[in-house]
Structure 1
Amino acid sequence: MTIQSEETIFLEAIALPAEQRAEFVRHQCRNDPELRRRVEQLIAAHERQGDILDVALGETVIGQSATVDAGEDIGPYRLLQKLGEGGFGVVFMAEQRHPVRRKVALKVIKPGMDSKSVIARFEAERQALAMMDHPNIARVFDGGSTVDGERPYFVMELVKGVPIVEFCDTNSLTTAERLRLFISVCNAVHHAHQKGVIHRDIKPSNVMVTLHDGEPVVKVIDFGVAKALHQRLTEKTLFTQYGMMVGTPQYMSPEQAEMSGLDVDTRSDIYSLAVLLYELITGTTPLQAESLRKATGYQDLQRMICEDEPVVPSQRLSTSGQQLTILAKHRRVSPERLPREIRGDLDWIVMKGLEKDRRRRYDSASDFAADVQRALDLEPVLAGPPSQVYRLKKFVLRNRAAVLAVTAAVVVLGAILFALVDGRNHRLARQRQDEVRLTNAVDEATSALVAAVDAELTDDRWTSAEFTVSRVRELMQGATAGVAAVDRARVFLDRYELARRDQQFTLAMEELLINRGTNQDLSSWITVERELRKILRDRGYDVDLLSPVELGKRVRDDPSMLQLTDALELWLDARRQVAALGGEAVPSEEIVAWVDGMNIADPKPFRSALRKLVFETVPPEPEFLALAIAENDLAATCSRKLSWLAQAYQLVGNNRRAFEIQAFALSRHPGDLLLNFEYATRQMNEQDWDEAIRYYLRCTAIRPNISGVWRSLAEAYRNNNETEAADHALDVAARLERAAQ
């Protein structure tokens, strides 16, 4: 039997109808009366106060913070009114007073709920939202802690809307209008998936609709139970434990309900989207609340979700009795016509999304949206059977006026031609099917690659990418897909291999610089210089054999030119560090030669100017730097060059501007390890221990397996008189170093 924690059992219990909780707790805690007593206390508190995520087994509360309420200030935000509260957070409407004045939503942990596990989940939600930039997802603007420093908060876009189903019914949206809104929801969810985040609780109350210039706009909110697809959302995230149900049962996929060893992936959200579409169409969910309340126990609830087949939407409408009249009125259509609108395409689309076997659902939310769009455009949908009669029916619907005008002779001729081309169409249909499968596989693999590019090679996101790439390779063998589809797949595979190579190259440099470069002694910097030299040699660029000019010309033609130029810059900087600490000197003419070689490889004026300033081959004149910046778009500048830009401003004596550039770089590249590490180190130099800790923690979230980050974090904790936390960070560093031996 799996050993479950107090928190796990509690969360599973409150996901059940109230009348089933006692039986479930008795079953789960049958061999542990003390555990049962604690869980029952949590449930009693939950039923008194609403949804509450309390303290996990053996965990102590960090602090009993004072209550915050309307009229109070948190940082630059004045709390105006409480909008609502969930399991562990309270949401306020607030007014931001500077640097801009605007209404925002501010979410802060409830008083007394600031346990380590709650803070981890809270920060996971903030980071999940911060990773995304999509018009249909509520944006995060800011984050911080309350004055006592114990309760984190984050500030997000204020969504003044109503749940999508309520909006559609209140405004009597037609079926087509509902489908267009649903497509926006799919696009938002697909964006989250591309960022490596699964929502896990898609339901009407988490999909709000607001009006912008009189047009309805969808906003997906509440990533409070979001799960990282293949990454840690935060260094303190408590991963969903084995045997822990998370989500809302009516909208929950079978794999979420099973709580088995099978990990939940993006297709779980596809299922929940299909439930949402079902409700938009029929006014109810496939598994109705009345049925859930009749479940005889926890296991019966699981069985219903995993085994009960849903009624086809059009059939659900046809058998809804008097309710059909109300549903039809809300959709501005007659009761007789509403089921006919749904029958066929929309039935097929919804039922494909509701497949119990996730392998039979849509591969992505974008595929789901595309099929709904095909239904709106009266085109054949992928979810429907590709029979000749079906395709002919679609043609007639799209061209009704023309078909009615044709003569009987044309009909006869069409029948003859239809018979002649039927065999050929079968072959084309198979080719088209293979093309669609290959195209979808390439799209899925591309999304997986996008999610993986910021991860280390041992991260599960690379495992996911490798799996999807293997599907592409498999489909390319023996398939009848057209040349264009196959060529596109080959181009993708080439891109994938290049990304793998570049990622391994970049990660090797990052780990080296942090693990070795944190020690500012001569021996460490000699090691850094030698290992950077080896990294370049392994990529075919031996700085001992090639002249700067020859190497620059070769790097210029390499698809990975920017990464290679970064490596050369870091290597030359390491040589300067060695010389500054008393090691082998680097003649100024040699530095000039290597800078010229790098400028051959990467001749962009802005980056060339930065190199000349950083390596001091030109006088540090502010005018020279200002001119270079004026001619370039900083927002489009890569993270490394923004870091060099901050260093260049330091060299010309403008520390304030250097700090601004560094902060701007972090806002543009929040997941860049070296940027966060450099910023944290800068805060250490400024003796701002809290800020240093914050950014070192971000580094551990980005790359948790680099011992140098943990050692730096330990130093920051110790300077901040947090001895226990410092000892823990040192212990993590030591374990990582032992594992690497």
Structure 2
Amino acid sequence: MSEKRQQINDLFSSALEQSPGEREAFLRQACGDDQSLYAEVESLLLHYDDSFLEESPASEIPSFPGHAMVGKQIGAYRIIRECGHGGMAVVYLAERADREYRKRVAVKMVKPGAGKDDILRRFRNERQTLAALDHPNIVKLLDGGSTEEGLPYLVMEYVEGIPVDQYCDSHKLSVPKRLQLFRTICEALHYAHQKLVIHRDLKPSNILITNDGIPRLMDFGIAKLLNPECFQTELVTLSDRRPMTPQYASPEQVRGEPVTPATDIYSLGVLLYYLLTGRRPYGAAGLSRFELERLVCEVDPEKPSTKVQKVDEVDSAASKGKPSTSPEVLSQARDTSPEGLRRILRGDLDMIVMMALRKEPKQRYASAKAFANDIERHLSGLPVKARRPTTLYRGSKFLRRHHESVAAALIALMLMAGVSTWEARRISRQASSRNAATFRARPSVAILGFKDLSTRPETAWLSTALSEMLTTELAAGEQLRTVPGETVARTKIDLHLPDTDSLASDTLARVRQNL
């Protein structure tokens, strides 16, 4: 590929990541005085087949200046300025007009001229969706109505924040902190699923993080309500329109099949992949509709630990306007080194992400809650559900969780074995010198076993393991005759000795006489 074509593809990919309203300004700044480069990328953007991914007849909506609404009153609120806009709707920052009290809100309304029935239906159903949701991590609906022209609007709480990916990188959050933030997002989505709402458009720009580090899930514009009683207006399904965002779409969305909560699980997997690696599972630069469908539906992405080692294809000297995505830059944004990041991702996190990205919906996590729980198990050092529960894997996880206590137990065991061996040899030498001709028997030592005072089931095996290790160590020099703990236990049973007095002097004397 020529350097010029690589530069065009790089800028095209970067422009797609901008909101539609910001693409032109971004492109002009990135291209500078190179008008031919600007024209090439602009042509790609104009012909980019977004319609198959976004159920939007937005191209038929005439453009209008955002400042036209500034100062006007919508319901009880006066418009201050435009916050952002998409193909069909625009969001304004507003404040109460009656000045009874000061409160800033976000007012979302259909663009003037967007009076098509399907757009109005979708907007009203978004309003009904938000009305059914009341969660601290989901933006709240405060009010709603229709303008004098009959266009619906909704009033939401105003969230001051930045997209989750920008927040994580700007604060250089480590992988564990990113995972904790991601768990909160999963919990909010699980709540929506319990209310029979599927978001269908999860991506960083729809998840804002406040200055306090609180994630807020927003933009339910293409959400699907599974409960017919919640529909404010009847939905009309158009077979040739599939609402989604390309880079975060699930295989069933791309194929136009029915969506379920598993659809959002896939998008969560893409989001986690991006937060961990700084790259999406599939690139979108220059891809046609059919190429993207094939990748999403047929090709498994690279594991995060593999992906993060590579210099992304958009990271080249010819790229303008896009920050480097080299392993060094990515790892620094995650407060570690390239090798450290690869080591963190390899294993559990690889398997967790890949399980969420499985092609078949039934093979993904059963719920967003299950996804969050597996993340929590990983953070707690417990075996995760995404991996096979082999004995070796479970044992290694146990040792990592309790490495301090296990190390202390082994040190104590070694000390006990050393002292016991020294004492046994001392006794043996004394006995040999006193009566070497008549006494040839080795001194004996009985292993009484260890009592687990933690009462934790997962540590019960330590008692037996330590006893066996001590028995082996004492018997190694052949200076002692060791009596295994099983023999001691059987003797106590045969003598009907109570377990509560197992260390009493009388009990020990009777055990010694009968061994």
Q: What interval of TM-score do these two structures reach, taking the shorter chain for normalisation?
A: 0.5 to 0.7
Instruction: Report what 2:226 is aligned to.
Output: 229
1:393 paired residue among 392, 396, 405: 396
Q: Pairwise mapping of residues 231-250 of structure 1 onto structure 2 (< 5 A)?
A: 231=228, 233-250=230-247
Show CA shifts across 1:37-66 (max 9, x none).
Answer: xxxxxx89999xxx9943899xxx9xx9x9
1:233 Cα offset (Å): 4.5
Native 8 Å contact 1:52 1:87 kept in 2:
no
Contact 1:55–1:115 (Cα < 8 Å) also in 2: no
Structure-2 change in CA distance of 1:373 and 1:415 (3 Å): closer
CA–CA distance in 2 between the matches of 1:354 and 1:161?
Answer: 28
**Offset of 1:328 from its aligned partner?**
1.1
Q: Which has the higher helix share?
A: 1
CA contact (8 A) 1:229 1:266 kept: no
Shift of 1:391: 1.0
Say whether the 8 Å CA contact 1:249–1:305 is kept in structure 2.
no
TM-aligned CA distance change 1:259 to 1:383, over 3 Å: same
Evaluate the alpha carbon distance shift between residue 239 and residue 389 of structure 1 in structure 2; reply closer, same or farther with a 3 A threshold: farther
The one-letter amino acid paired with 1:196 is L
Structure 1: stretches of 5+ with no match in the other structure: 1-16, 18-42, 419-741
**Structure 1 residues 389 and 119: CA distance shift in structure 2, 3 A:** same
SS at match of 1:120: helix
Shift of 1:397: 1.1
Deviation at 1:236, TM superposition (A): 2.5
Q: Which amino acid aligns with 1:381?
A: V
Q: CA deviation at 1:410?
A: 5.6
Deviation per residue, 1:594-634 (Å, 9 max, x gap) = xxxxxxxxxxxxxxxxxxxxxxxxxxxxxxxxxxxxxxxxx
Partner of 1:165: 165
Does structure 2 conserve the Cα–Cα contact (< 8 Å) formed by 1:250 and 1:289? yes
Distance 1:106 1:128 in 2: 16
Deviation at 1:67, TM superposition (A): 8.8
Partner of 2:121: 120
Number of positions where the alignment pairs a residue of Structure 1 with one of Structure 2: 363
**CA 1:45–1:84 in 2, change beyond 3 Å: closer, same or farther?**
farther
**Aligned counterparts, 1:619-634, within 5 A:** none
Higher relative contact order (CA 8 A, sep 6+): 2
1:269 aligned onto 2:260 = no
Q: CA, structure 1 residues 332+56, in 2 after alignment: closer, same or farther (shift >3 Å)?
A: closer
TM-score normalised by the chain length of structure 1 = 0.46
Query: What is the alpha-carbon distance in structure 2 between the residues aligned to residue 106 and residue 54 of structure 1?
Result: 22
Task: Go from structure 1 to structure 2 and tell me whether the alpha carbon gap of 1:210 and 1:351 turns closer, same or farther (over 3 Å shift).
Answer: same
Q: What does residue 106 of structure 2 align with? A: 105
Q: Larger Cα Rg: Structure 1 or Structure 2? A: 2
Quote the Cα distance in structure 2 between the aligned partners of 1:67 and 1:237: 33
For residue 369 of structure 1, give the secondary structure of its aligned residue in structure 2: helix
C-alpha RMSD of the superposition: 3.3
- In structure 1, what is the Cα distance between the partners aligned to 2:101 and 2:390? 59
SS state of the match for residue 318, structure 1? coil
C-alpha displacement of 1:116: 1.6
Structure 2 vs 1, CA of residues 155 and 111 (structure 1 numbering), >3 Å: closer, same or farther? same
8 A Cα contact 2:225 2:231, kept in partner: no
Within a 5 Å distance, the mapping from 1:702-713 to structure 2 comes to none
- 1:83 deviation in Å? 0.5
Quote the sequence identity (%). Answer: 40
Residue equivalent to 1:354: 357
Secondary structure of the structure 2 residue equivalent to 1:155: strand
**2:387 partner amino acid:** G
Q: Where do 1:360-379 residues align within 5 Å?
A: 360-379=363-382
Aligned to 1:253: 250
1:332 aligns with 2:329: no
Question: How much has 1:416 moved relative to structure 2?
Answer: 11
Report if the CA contact (8 A) 2:305-2:350 is conserved.
yes
Structure 1 residues 327-476: aligned runs within 5 Å: 327-407=330-410
Q: Deviations over 1:6-28 (max 9, x none)?
A: xxxxxxxxxxx8xxxxxxxxxxx
**Aligned match for 1:301, one of 268, 284, 292:** 292
Asked whether the equivalents of residues 67 and 111 of structure 1 are also in contact (C-alpha less than 8 Å), the reply is no
Match of 1:724 in 2: none
- What residue in structure 1 maps to residue 132 of structure 2? 131
| 1:367-398: CA deviation from partner (whole Å, max 9, x where unpaired) | 10111011111111111211111111111111
Whether the 8 Å CA contact 1:187–1:366 is kept in 2: the answer is yes
**Hey, what's the Cα distance between the residues in 2 that align with 1:401 and 1:257?**
50
In the alignment, which of 301, 304, 312 is matched to residue 310 of structure 1? 301
For residues 410 and 395 of structure 1, do their structure 2 counterparts lie closer, same or farther at Cα, with a shift above 3 Å needed? farther
Check the 8 A contact 2:193/2:261 in 1, yes or no. yes
Contact 1:183 1:372 in 2 (8 A): yes
Paired residues of 1:324 and 1:335 also in contact (CA < 8 A): yes
Tell me the secondary structure at the aligned position of residue 311 of structure 1: coil
Give deviations 1:105-141, integer Å, cap 9, x for gaps: 0011101002221110111111111110001100000
Give 1:74 deviation, angstroms.
Answer: 1.2
Q: Which one-letter code corresponds to 1:104 in the other structure?
A: V
What amino acid does structure 2 have at the position aligned with 1:105?
Answer: A
Distance 1:119 1:352 in 2: 37
SS, match of residue 336 in structure 1 = helix
Deviation at 1:97, TM superposition (A): 3.8
State the AA in 2 paired with 1:406.
A
Q: How many Å separate the matches in 2 of 1:171 and 1:327?
A: 13
Per-residue CA deviations over 1:84-114 (Å, capped at 9, x if unaligned) read 1112111000002455420000011101002
Residue 189 of structure 2: SS of its match in structure 1?
Answer: helix
Tell me if the contact between 1:53 and 1:113 (Cα under 8 Å) persists in the aligned partners: no
Deviations 1:467-513 (A, max 9, x none): xxxxxxxxxxxxxxxxxxxxxxxxxxxxxxxxxxxxxxxxxxxxxxx
Q: Distance in 2 between matches of 1:82 and 1:286?
A: 33
> Structure 1 residues 110 and 334, CA, compared in 2 at 3 Å: closer, same or farther?
same
C-alpha distance in 2, partners of 1:46/1:72? Answer: 36
Relative to 1, partners in 2 of residues 1:417 and 1:317: Cα closer, same or farther, differing over 3 Å? farther
* 1:694-735, Cα deviation, whole Å (9 max, x unpaired): xxxxxxxxxxxxxxxxxxxxxxxxxxxxxxxxxxxxxxxxxx
